[in-house]
Structure 1
């Protein structure tokens, strides 16, 4: 093919992605061209007649395939945030090509020999700490992916990797299609009883956009969450809850049950091929937790502390629902509804009272002010770079000296082509090459309530913390300051990556921070002090149940990936029910299954890693206690966090970085104190 704009370094301002010049059908030939260009770079390293050195082998490998990496980031980010049939077809064609090419590199004996030569001589090379980390990472990239295997096992590894890449994509496509195909049309206005005015208006607008009479509700979070939280009609709540729980579990063309079983079986076989007992053993070797046994101890310890509180909270909720509405058995479609009612009763606080103070634009500005106060960052909205959708906002990020720090993309509203949830992605990593510090391009993607004809986008408090969470990930990417792209930003151990995101949520509960941005969208009035106090006092409401829920997901993940004989599992539902047996509060719903839509572990990168949310909560609770001791906007502590955590990426062991920031290992009691599960410090 003739030279395409994607096959060479971008000649755009700030070298940003040229979205408007990309046709979806271009991706497949572009990938093929970029793979061949990278193959030539790899061949040049492999066939270099000079003796292997850190520079001509390890560094050369690190900076090879730069354009292929950029095209991959653009493509796979679009496939999550703005997909269509063409992109999904390309993804199915491209993923095995990339899997094969990756294996061509890691299973290249001559190349591995060069890497191993450098690795074996590492004590004599006088490398920096970051160079040592890169060398270890490159060597393990080969050894942990089959470089030491005999030829027949290498071929089997290739086949497994190719199949897994396709299965993960198919799992995600099915989950998105399931989300998009369900609609609940309400034509009787009585069925809207209890729903907030803004939710009703949005449902009306959605119905009109699809030329339907009435009010339309979907499984997109801004539609689903308010309905199950506020709708008085129990049968309608049940319909929506069951639909959400059935994703991938319909025994039809979008069913994910066989895909789940095939993924876990292939992951296990792959781990065995490489000499590991289970997939979890393979994954956790490169995590702070180190082993499945350590994860099991961690989860069990938290479970023992959280379960009594969760059971007390659930009993209180049951009693409340019975007293209020005569509900004999509390079901899953009742949980959010009666929790909200009880919360309102106990604290006189509900999201509808809070939402007017959390206009999306104000919350975004609040996140920027917090980042400026802590880390000296300035965000300027610019419209001179390409976007992949009109909803996307783009910013140039600088520091107080005016130095260019990053490009920041923000994409906030649901669309049919966007998967549910919220995430941060990287369009270009930070690195230093030829004396130039090449700055990153970072994106966050969310699914918040869209503006209506009469109201701007007003966020629930949960959406406010979600925005700050993803913004924390973004700061980790934006403030990166490392030499090598594969060690930059969020390229850290998976159970460490949630620290920067989760710590940022803490500012949402603090008076000093809320006063910076929580103003009424109509009157400009600052959020009243009594509401701030209620936010703080209600922060631990049902924390035992929330903790139990998170632990159940971590236990389910480990049940799939730390098992020594996954091929014996015949029923996804039966296996899941058994995994949940120690964390179940609500009666089981036979027609629902979580695993078939558990995208974190079957599509994303959280397999054997879901526990890391709780693991990182220990880190963030301990770290934020340090801020609170010295002041939540204390510059000295913020600088220590920036210099030792945010800028360092994966250049050192995360516990080393954490102790350098905090002066000690994290104390689990900090999390338990914050959760109200143990007494607070005097």
Structure 2
């Protein structure tokens, strides 16, 4: 093994990780040494003989563990976007060790007493807004980690944290294995029946990547499976593909996640009880904008009722379409996308095959960048020859309107077997100013189907929206303007974090953007006005379905985390009964069924928090109205307020107050219902 690059200074351009020099074994050594160093730094803070001050306690904590943070961020970005068996083994080994390290920090009695002392006299310390927020976050984090418990309670909390870390890691790896192992191989004309050229080309590329030249492969990436379900006229194959997609994590065998979910729910319930909460949902929501399960349920119910009504109407239209073609069957989940495409064509004279040639990946990236230029004065210059973890990753230097370096943006757009499914934003380095200006290194990870060599990669409109969504998160990280790492960028309340991303989606749908960047990949001609009009007219088509499949997930996530006893939880039965109780249509499944619901069970980020997308959507639907009311979607004054109060503020302000500072008032739910076409 070479000298460990994770333990040395990085002399790479922009201090990017030296990916080509890093071997899996380097991480194990780096984690061990960096944990020892971080523990020594934390103990020195806790054992400081001087009276606690903000600088010698809170600021010192913010500056501690830098080596460990750098190595961990590099590792976990790789484990999500480009993993391998060696990295996965290290991830399983390290998960409980990281949890133990965290418990030892949060349960350090001397350290907590220093923080509690500062908290008790916070009004007399002369703290500015940012320092006050950072102190509040540390005090809250320590309390929620069990710092105030007795010795037995602390010990059990540490055990729970380590167990949850281990099984959460296993959950994610099981889903990835199910996704990576599955391939629907298509060979005959009957197998390919109904598939458009763009999907056949993508399936040929997927087959070639798997050593199956001359054949075609459908994978469980959304960019592969959803178009197949849309266009395939082979109903038995649609059923086969859908059941594989829907059944991830519950196939029996070693990758079955149902027992992991049961253990997770039980451990989370016990953790909440130790901390004095009625349930894990009560515990989790106490530190969000929503505050209570009742507030979440109220929001979801307000949306569920009209969405369910709309979905029933949509299902009847699909059934009529199927009958008109001689289909004498009840609409099943593997039929919905197929017949919805036909109904959309019938009602709006619009289909995906007509639309997709105008949605080139490179042009949509350009559109996302241009929107940021017009709103915030940013510029993006692609850099070649810089270190990356995969040849497909693109690197852009981001500068402000004065030409000053803002940060680096990495785009990793294509699906591959080494990448978990979905789309996300992450950071190799967050912005802060603890010791000089530290610029961010932000990455967006997608799973688009790559075009054949020499051909453009074409997106669906949903793919394009996903790109804008994740770039909104990316801007939240890039534009961060704070001093302390803990509140940098996306370090905000979980049900606020989706506001910058979902708000950014609005610009994609604007004619002013589409008319410039939706150009045909062969001719270069702009999307015809008639087609653009049809696209925008059909924007709320199938919203009953989309809202039901999402809201069902949010409701199941809430209900499963309200359980106080889960030792004998039958996950499949619980999911079934919960959906029956809300009258879930048989023809629609949850967007993420529980055995592969990574948001909720592959870690703690969105557990009892999947509602967050809709909570934020209430704000984003209302927030875009601020631009519409000005008659200019790039209004400079409104854009400046958006930058100041939302994109650059990180977790410094209270989220409800900063939204009001931007909009002038609290958000209104009617904006969300109108946006989704569900208003009465």
Q: TM-score, normalised by structure 1?
A: 0.97
Distance (whole Å) between structure 1 residues aligned to residue 460 and residue 111 of structure 2:
53
Distance 1:561 1:678, change over 3 A: same
Match of 1:101 in 2: 101
Match of 1:176 in 2: 176
Distance 1:572 1:383, change over 3 A: same
In the alignment, does 2:131 pair up with 1:131?
A: yes
1:315-338, Cα deviation, whole Å (9 max, x unpaired):
222222222332320001101000
Distance (whole Å) between structure 1 residues aligned to residue 118 and residue 454 of structure 2:
65
SS of residue paired to 2:398: strand
Distance (whole Å) between structure 2 residues aligned to residue 366 and residue 629 of structure 1:
23
SS of residue paired to 1:140: helix
1:109-141, Cα deviation, whole Å (9 max, x unpaired):
111111111111101011111111100111111
Structure 1 residue 308 displacement after superposition = 1.6
Indicate the larger mover: 519-528 or 416-425: 519-528
In the alignment, does 2:546 pair up with 1:546?
A: yes
Answer yes or no: is the 8 Å Cα contact 1:129–1:651 preserved in 2. Answer: yes
Match of 2:89 in 1: 89
Structure 1 runs (4+) deviating above 6 angstroms are: none
Match of 1:597 in 2: 596
In the alignment, does 2:581 pair up with 1:586?
A: no
1:494-530, Cα deviation, whole Å (9 max, x unpaired):
1101111111111111111112311111111111111
In the alignment, does 2:324 pair up with 1:323?
A: yes
In the alignment, does 2:614 pair up with 1:614?
A: yes
SS of residue paired to 2:251: coil
Match of 1:5 in 2: 5
Answer yes or no: is the 8 Å Cα contact 1:224–1:240 preserved in 2. Answer: yes
Structure 1 residue 99 displacement after superposition = 0.7
Distance (whole Å) between structure 1 residues aligned to residue 206 and residue 369 of structure 2:
31
**Alignment coverage as a number of residue pairs:** 676
Distance 1:341 1:45, change over 3 A: same
Matches of residues 358-377 of structure 1 in structure 2 within 5 Å? 358-377=359-378
Structure 1 residue 17 displacement after superposition = 1.5
Match of 1:62 in 2: 62
Answer yes or no: is the 8 Å Cα contact 1:549–1:583 preserved in 2. Answer: no
Distance (whole Å) between structure 2 residues aligned to residue 468 and residue 207 of structure 1:
29
Q: TM-score, normalised by structure 2?
A: 0.97
Distance (whole Å) between structure 1 residues aligned to residue 46 and residue 204 of structure 2:
62
SS of residue paired to 2:425: strand
Distance 1:79 1:283, change over 3 A: same
Distance (whole Å) between structure 2 residues aligned to residue 375 and residue 209 of structure 1:
40
Match of 1:297 in 2: 298
Distance 1:2 1:35, change over 3 A: farther
Answer yes or no: is the 8 Å Cα contact 2:336–2:587 preserved in 1. Answer: no
Distance (whole Å) between structure 2 residues aligned to residue 75 and residue 636 of structure 1:
41
In the alignment, does 2:224 pair up with 1:223?
A: yes
Distance 1:557 1:8, change over 3 A: same
- Structure 2: any 5+ residue segments left out of the alignment? none
Structure 1 residue 50 displacement after superposition = 1.0
Distance (whole Å) between structure 2 residues aligned to residue 128 and residue 573 of structure 1:
50
Match of 2:439 in 1: 439
Match of 1:397 in 2: 398
Structure 1 residue 261 displacement after superposition = 0.3
Distance (whole Å) between structure 1 residues aligned to residue 256 and residue 658 of structure 2:
43
SS of residue paired to 1:473: helix
SS of residue paired to 1:192: coil
1:417-466, Cα deviation, whole Å (9 max, x unpaired):
101110000110100123x2211110000011202046310111111100
Matches of residues 67-216 of structure 1 in structure 2 within 5 Å? 67-212=67-212, 213-216=214-217
Distance (whole Å) between structure 2 residues aligned to residue 80 and residue 463 of structure 1:
20
SS of residue paired to 1:6: helix
Distance 1:209 1:125, change over 3 A: closer
Match of 1:42 in 2: 42
Structure 1 residue 652 displacement after superposition = 1.3
Distance (whole Å) between structure 2 residues aligned to residue 328 and residue 675 of structure 1:
29
Indicate the larger mover: 667-676 or 642-651: 667-676
Match of 1:646 in 2: 647
1:38-58, Cα deviation, whole Å (9 max, x unpaired):
111112111212111011001
Indicate the larger mover: 217-226 or 383-392: 217-226
SS of residue paired to 1:477: helix
Structure 1 residue 304 displacement after superposition = 2.1
SS of residue paired to 2:437: strand
In the alignment, does 2:306 pair up with 1:314?
A: no
- Structure 1: any 5+ residue segments left out of the alignment? none
Answer yes or no: is the 8 Å Cα contact 2:407–2:440 preserved in 1. Answer: yes
Answer yes or no: is the 8 Å Cα contact 1:249–1:593 preserved in 2. Answer: no
Distance (whole Å) between structure 1 residues aligned to residue 670 and residue 589 of structure 2:
35
Distance (whole Å) between structure 2 residues aligned to residue 313 and residue 377 of structure 1:
42
1:610-645, Cα deviation, whole Å (9 max, x unpaired):
011111111110001111111111111111101110
In the alignment, does 2:246 pair up with 1:245?
A: yes
Match of 1:416 in 2: 417
Answer yes or no: is the 8 Å Cα contact 1:314–1:585 preserved in 2. Answer: no
Structure 1 residue 287 displacement after superposition = 0.6
Match of 1:275 in 2: 276
Indicate the larger mover: 660-669 or 196-205: 196-205
Pairwise CA RMSD: 1.7
Distance (whole Å) between structure 1 residues aligned to residue 638 and residue 205 of structure 2:
47
SS of residue paired to 2:381: strand
SS of residue paired to 2:395: strand
Answer yes or no: is the 8 Å Cα contact 2:10–2:18 preserved in 1. Answer: yes
Answer yes or no: is the 8 Å Cα contact 2:553–2:593 preserved in 1. Answer: no
Distance 1:302 1:209, change over 3 A: closer
Match of 1:30 in 2: 30
Match of 1:479 in 2: 479
